[in-house]
């Protein structure tokens, strides 16, 4: 006789990866408890919330592009599960998780534009992005799409279907859906997996994974974002995600109902707090792209630590017969949430340990890639 006091799954980590995987498990009929160490431990609390794959499609990262492209296709179903109305091209309501449908890639110099063009020709291929459409746009078209952007932009590309979500509202809705479905959410810090009650355990603690799995092949990368609040004198936020190259640097502007998120730096550092040089570069580049941001207020400088793997791909596998790890998502935790939840679901269902899982070559989650998460009705 099974012990009904022990949950079927204990999830260690209250970020988007852990919560989405927990919701998939609850919808599959499992009894779930989530251990959440708090907002300061979540990289997804400090994020732009972009659901694009093309922005991550750099040369040599074709596997990551394929993974993010697959995950983007899973987002509409997850948004329906959370009771969020899918947008049809109109402005998002104040309570909509979705904040943009498409992305606008823009360049400030001819060299920057050449870089984007090379990506479009060599990486952003139709086979890599399924049916999503990428259109070249010139300066006049950019201004027609986003009138507040700088007149010095020399060109770019419009990527249809490369949207974004409000990351913090997403986390709130995920927690609410879990509570409504009967999951337990505990605000505590796990220091030893042996102390966690659960027939199975999902370790999804972001950069904190290394404290619980010392052999984890991940490293921390520090990143800063800025949150700008709109005033009554401000120009409206863009309706697209704006991803720009400014003299070789990248910056993104992601709309929110009350302003804009500007990001993001990424570098190796264990120093606490934001570095002045990073904040300066973000502000300088953002203003070069959208001069009207000078009329916004700087409401938050956020610092997060992203859990990165050596090859940029997430690590989703069993590390023993009880523990599954989902970590190493780097800058792509939010966009890869449906992809990760699907693979975790399959590992939970196929709990055998016949396949070694110690390295990427033996990672067997791809055997189940055609099996979809069956989300419950909201």
Name which residue leads in pLDDT, 232 or 62.
232
Give the relative orientation of helices 62-81 and 337-349 as an angle to the nearest 10 degrees: 80
Q: pLDDT digits over 57-110, tens only?
A: 666 777 888 888 889 989 999 999 999 875 444 444 547 999 999 999 999 999
Q: What is the pLDDT of residues 160-194, one digit of tens each?
A: 988 999 999 999 999 999 999 999 999 999 999 99
Question: Smallest Cα–Cα separation from 66: which of 159, 129, 143?
Answer: 129
Domain spans, the chain = 9-368
pLDDT tens per residue, range 332-375: 999 999 999 999 999 998 765 544 333 444 343 444 455 678 88
CB of 204 closer than 8 Å to CB of 9: no
pLDDT digits (tens, 9 = 90+) for 77-87: 999 999 987 54
The 8-class DSSP code of residue 299 comes to: E
Question: How high does pLDDT run on average in the chain?
Answer: 87
pLDDT at residue number 55: 65
Query: In 3-state terms, the chain is what percent helix, strand and coil (to 5)?
Result: 35, 25, 40
According to CATH, what is the number of the domain 9-368?
3.30.9.10
- Residue pair 313/359 in contact (Cβ under 8 Å)? The answer is no
Asked if residue 226 has pLDDT above 50, the reply is yes
The pLDDT assigned to 361 comes to: 43
Q: What pLDDT is attached to residue 89?
A: 44
């Amino acid at each position: 006789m099974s012990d009904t006091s022990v949950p079927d799954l204990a999830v260690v980590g209250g970020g988007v990866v852990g919560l989405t995987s927990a919701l998939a498990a609850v919808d599959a009929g499992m009894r779930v408890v989530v251990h959440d160490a708090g907002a300061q431990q979540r990289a997804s609390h400090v994020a732009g919330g972009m659901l694009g794959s093309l922005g991550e499609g750099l040369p040599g990262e074709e596997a990551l592009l394929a993974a993010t492209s697959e995950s983007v296709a899973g987002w509409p179903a997850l948004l329906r599960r959370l009771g969020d109305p899918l947008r049809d091209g109109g402005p998002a309501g104040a309570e909509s998780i979705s904040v943009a449908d498409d992305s606008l890639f823009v360049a400030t110099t001819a060299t920057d534009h050449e870089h984007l063009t090379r990506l479009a020709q060599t990486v952003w291929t139709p086979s890599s992005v399924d049916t999503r459409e990428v259109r070249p746009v010139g300066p006049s078209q950019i201004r027609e799409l986003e009138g507040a952007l700088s007149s010095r932009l020399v060109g770019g590309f419009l990527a249809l279907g490369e949207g974004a979500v409000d990351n913090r509202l997403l986390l709130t809705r995920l927690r609410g859906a879990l509570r409504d479905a009967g999951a337990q959410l505990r605000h505590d810090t796990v220091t030893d997996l042996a102390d966690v009650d659960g027939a199975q355990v999902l370790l999804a603690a972001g950069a904190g994974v290394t404290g619980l799995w010392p052999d984890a092949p991940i490293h921390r990368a520090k990143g800063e974002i800025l949150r700008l609040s709109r005033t009554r004198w401000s120009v409206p936020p863009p309706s697209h995600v704006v991803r720009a190259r400014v003299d070789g640097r990248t910056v993104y502007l992601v709309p929110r109902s009350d302003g804009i998120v500007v990001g993001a730096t990424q570098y190796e550092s264990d120093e606490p707090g934001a570095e002045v040089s990073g904040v300066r570069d973000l502000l300088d580049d953002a203003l070069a792209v959208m001069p009207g941001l000078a009329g916004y207020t700087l409401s938050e400088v956020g610092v997060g630590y992203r859990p990165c793997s050596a090859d940029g791909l997430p690590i989703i596998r069993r590390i023993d017969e009880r523990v599954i790890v989902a970590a190493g998502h780097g800058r792509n935790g939010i966009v890869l949430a449906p992809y990760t939840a699907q693979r975790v679901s399959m590992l939970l269902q196929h709990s055998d340990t016949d396949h070694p899982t110690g390295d990427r070559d033996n990672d067997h989650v791809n055997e189940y890639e055609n099996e979809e998460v069956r989300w419950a009705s909201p």
